[in-house]
Structure 1
Amino acid sequence: MMETRRSLLEKAKEVLLKQASEGEIYFFVTTCSEDKRGKVWQTTGKNFERAWIKVERYLKKYIVFPKWLKIEFVDSWQEVTADEGKEAFQKIQRNNYFRYGVKFKKDNSFTFMPEEIVGNALLVPHQEHSIVKKDARLQLDEGNMRGYIKRKYQKGLTNPFVSFDESWSFFTKKGIFIEDNKIYPLETEQSGQGIRKIDQENQVEMLDQAIYRGADFLVNQITETGKFVYGYFPAYGKVLRSYNSVRHYSSLYALLEAYEYLREQGTASEEFLEKIEQGLTWGLMNLTQISDGDYYVAEWLKDGVELKLGAQAMVILALSKYQTVTGSKQFLPAMKKFLQGMKSFIDETGATTHVLDEHLQKKEKFRIIYYDGEALFAIMRAYPLVLRNEWLELAERLMNHFIDADYQRYHDHWLSYSVNELTSYVPKRKYFEFGVKNALENLRFIERRDTAYPTMLELVVAAVKMFSRIEELDLGEPLFSSADFSWLRSVMEKRALHELRTGTMWPELAMFFAKPETIAGGFYCRHDRCRMRIDDAEHFLSGLINYRNFRDFSVQDIQELPNEPTISLKEEEPLAVSVIIPVYNREKEIAECLSKLAETTFDKSRMEVLVVDDASTDETVQVIETFRNEFDHLKIIRLAENSGGASVPRNIAIKQAKGKWLLFIDSDDYVTPHAIVDAYNLANERESTDLVCMPYFRAEESSRAISRSAFIYPENVSGLDFLDTKLYNSLNVVGKMVRRSIIINYEIEFPAEIRVREDNWFSMRLYGVVREIAILGNQKEYYFIRDKDNVSLSNYRTPPRDAAKIFFTVFQFIFGLDELSSARKADIMAIYLNRYTKMIKRGKYSPDRVLEKTGQYLSLLKQSPYIDKESKQFIIDLYDAKYEVTE
Structure 2
Amino acid sequence: MSDHAVQEAHVAREAIHSALHAAGSDVLSQWQRQHASVAPFDSLLLVSVSDGYARAQVTTLTVDVSALRAGQWEVLVPALEQAITRLQRKFGHPLVGCRIEWPFAVREGRWGAFKQELMRYKRSYFRSGLAFEGKREARLLLSEMELNANACLYGGHQVGHAQINQAHLERYLKARHGSSQMPSFADEMPMWSFATAGVFLALGGEQPSHHLLSTQPRCWGRRETPPLTPASTAELIARSTRFLGRQVQANGRYVYGYFPCFNRDIGTYNILRHASSTYALLEGYESCLTQRLLDDEQLRQLHGQIDRALESLRDRDIIERDGAAYVVDTGNIIKLGANAVAILALVKYQQVMDDDRYAALADALALGIVRMQEADGSFVHVLNAADLSLKEKSRIIYYDGEAAFALMRLYGQTRNPQWLACVVKAFDYFIDNGHEQAHDHWLAYCTNELVMYRPERRYFEFAVRNVAGYIDFIRDRITTFPTLLELSMAFHKTLLTLEQMPELADVLDGLDIDAFYHALHTRANYLQNGFFWPEVAMYFKAPHTVQDGFFIRHHSFRVRIDDVEHYLSGLVAYQQLLLAGHQAGSA
Scaled by the length of structure 2, what TM-score is found?
A: 0.88
The alignment status of 1:469 with 2:494, answered yes or no, reads no
**Residue aligning to 1:43:** 61
The alignment status of 1:25 with 2:43, answered yes or no, reads yes
The alignment status of 1:295 with 2:322, answered yes or no, reads no
For 2:333, give the aligned amino acid. Answer: E
Deviation track 1:367-402 (CA, whole Å, cap 9, x = no partner) reads 111100100110011113322211111121112211
TM-fit CA distance, 1:128? 4.0
For 2:364, give the aligned amino acid. Answer: K
1:487 and 1:34 map into 2 onto residues whose CA distance is 41
**Residue aligning to 2:252:** 226
1:367 and 1:105 map into 2 onto residues whose CA distance is 52
Structure 1: stretches of 5+ with no match in the other structure:
131-135, 563-887
For 2:175, give the aligned amino acid. Answer: R
**Residues 405, 263 of structure 1: CA spacing in aligned structure 2 closer, same or farther, 3 A cutoff?**
same
**Residue aligning to 1:877:** none
TM-fit CA distance, 1:264? 1.1
**Residue aligning to 1:549:** 576
Task: Report the aligned-residue RMSD.
Answer: 2.3
**Residue aligning to 2:454:** 426
The alignment status of 1:89 with 2:118, answered yes or no, reads yes
TM-fit CA distance, 1:4? 5.2
The alignment status of 1:235 with 2:261, answered yes or no, reads yes
The alignment status of 1:448 with 2:459, answered yes or no, reads no
1:80 to 103, 109, 122: 109
Give matches, 1:196-345, under 5 Å. Answer: 196-200=223-227, 203-268=229-294, 269-301=299-331, 305-345=332-372
**Residues 51, 7 of structure 1: CA spacing in aligned structure 2 closer, same or farther, 3 A cutoff?**
closer
The alignment status of 1:112 with 2:129, answered yes or no, reads no
TM-fit CA distance, 1:44? 1.1
User: Which secondary structure state, in structure 1, belongs to the residue aligned with residue 452 of structure 2?
Assistant: coil
**Residue aligning to 1:149:** 173
TM-fit CA distance, 1:256? 0.3
User: Which secondary structure state, in structure 2, belongs to the residue aligned with residue 226 of structure 1?
Assistant: coil
2:586 and 2:502 map into 1 onto residues whose CA distance is 25
TM-fit CA distance, 1:549? 1.2
**Residue aligning to 1:349:** 376
Aligned length: 547
TM-fit CA distance, 1:139? 2.8
Deviation track 1:423-475 (CA, whole Å, cap 9, x = no partner) reads 11111111111111112232222222111010000001110111121011143
The answer as to whether partners of 1:142 and 1:160 remain within 8 angstroms in 2 is no
2:194 to 153, 167, 171: 171
2:505 and 2:356 map into 1 onto residues whose CA distance is 43
The alignment status of 1:380 with 2:398, answered yes or no, reads no
**Residues 271, 14 of structure 1: CA spacing in aligned structure 2 closer, same or farther, 3 A cutoff?**
same
1:243 and 1:274 map into 2 onto residues whose CA distance is 21
For 1:87, give the aligned amino acid. Answer: Q
**Residues 222, 443 of structure 1: CA spacing in aligned structure 2 closer, same or farther, 3 A cutoff?**
same
**Residue aligning to 2:130:** 102
Give matches, 1:677-756, under 5 Å. Answer: none
Deviation track 1:584-626 (CA, whole Å, cap 9, x = no partner) reads xxxxxxxxxxxxxxxxxxxxxxxxxxxxxxxxxxxxxxxxxxx
The alignment status of 1:192 with 2:215, answered yes or no, reads no
**Residues 143, 336 of structure 1: CA spacing in aligned structure 2 closer, same or farther, 3 A cutoff?**
same
1:223 and 1:143 map into 2 onto residues whose CA distance is 35
The alignment status of 1:183 with 2:210, answered yes or no, reads yes
2:76 and 2:179 map into 1 onto residues whose CA distance is 25
**Residue aligning to 1:490:** 518
For 2:118, give the aligned amino acid. Answer: F
User: Which secondary structure state, in structure 2, belongs to the residue aligned with residue 29 of structure 1?
Assistant: strand
**Residues 278, 555 of structure 1: CA spacing in aligned structure 2 closer, same or farther, 3 A cutoff?**
closer
The answer as to whether partners of 1:142 and 1:161 remain within 8 angstroms in 2 is no
User: Which secondary structure state, in structure 2, belongs to the residue aligned with residue 19 of structure 1?
Assistant: helix
**Residues 482, 87 of structure 1: CA spacing in aligned structure 2 closer, same or farther, 3 A cutoff?**
closer
**Residue aligning to 2:486:** 458
**Residue aligning to 2:558:** 531
Displaced runs of 4 or more, over 6 A: none
**Residue aligning to 1:10:** 21
TM-fit CA distance, 1:197? 1.0
The answer as to whether partners of 2:16 and 2:81 remain within 8 angstroms in 1 is no
**Residues 272, 531 of structure 1: CA spacing in aligned structure 2 closer, same or farther, 3 A cutoff?**
same
**Residues 547, 477 of structure 1: CA spacing in aligned structure 2 closer, same or farther, 3 A cutoff?**
closer
Deviation track 1:644-695 (CA, whole Å, cap 9, x = no partner) reads xxxxxxxxxxxxxxxxxxxxxxxxxxxxxxxxxxxxxxxxxxxxxxxxxxxx
TM-fit CA distance, 1:149? 2.7
1:414 and 1:161 map into 2 onto residues whose CA distance is 52
The answer as to whether partners of 1:351 and 1:398 remain within 8 angstroms in 2 is yes
TM-fit CA distance, 1:51? 4.8
TM-fit CA distance, 1:325? 0.7
The answer as to whether partners of 2:45 and 2:62 remain within 8 angstroms in 1 is yes
1:481 and 1:37 map into 2 onto residues whose CA distance is 53
TM-fit CA distance, 1:536? 0.5
**Residues 3, 242 of structure 1: CA spacing in aligned structure 2 closer, same or farther, 3 A cutoff?**
closer
TM-fit CA distance, 1:489? 1.2
TM-fit CA distance, 1:53? 3.6
2:15 and 2:266 map into 1 onto residues whose CA distance is 41
TM-fit CA distance, 1:111? 1.8
The alignment status of 1:508 with 2:513, answered yes or no, reads no
Larger radius of gyration: 1
The answer as to whether partners of 1:30 and 1:41 remain within 8 angstroms in 2 is yes
For 2:52, give the aligned amino acid. Answer: E
**Residues 249, 209 of structure 1: CA spacing in aligned structure 2 closer, same or farther, 3 A cutoff?**
same
2:374 and 2:15 map into 1 onto residues whose CA distance is 68
Deviation track 1:240-281 (CA, whole Å, cap 9, x = no partner) reads 011111101000000000000000121341110111110011
The answer as to whether partners of 2:31 and 2:198 remain within 8 angstroms in 1 is no
1:59 to 84, 89, 106: 84
User: Which secondary structure state, in structure 1, belongs to the residue aligned with residue 167 of structure 2?
Assistant: helix
The alignment status of 1:403 with 2:426, answered yes or no, reads no
TM-fit CA distance, 1:292? 2.0
User: Which secondary structure state, in structure 1, belongs to the residue aligned with residue 306 of structure 2?
Assistant: helix
**Residue aligning to 2:163:** 139
Scaled by the length of structure 1, what TM-score is found?
A: 0.59
The answer as to whether partners of 2:112 and 2:187 remain within 8 angstroms in 1 is no
User: Which secondary structure state, in structure 1, belongs to the residue aligned with residue 233 of structure 2?
Assistant: helix
The answer as to whether partners of 1:198 and 1:497 remain within 8 angstroms in 2 is no
For 2:18, give the aligned amino acid. Answer: S
The answer as to whether partners of 2:199 and 2:211 remain within 8 angstroms in 1 is yes
1:518 and 1:548 map into 2 onto residues whose CA distance is 26
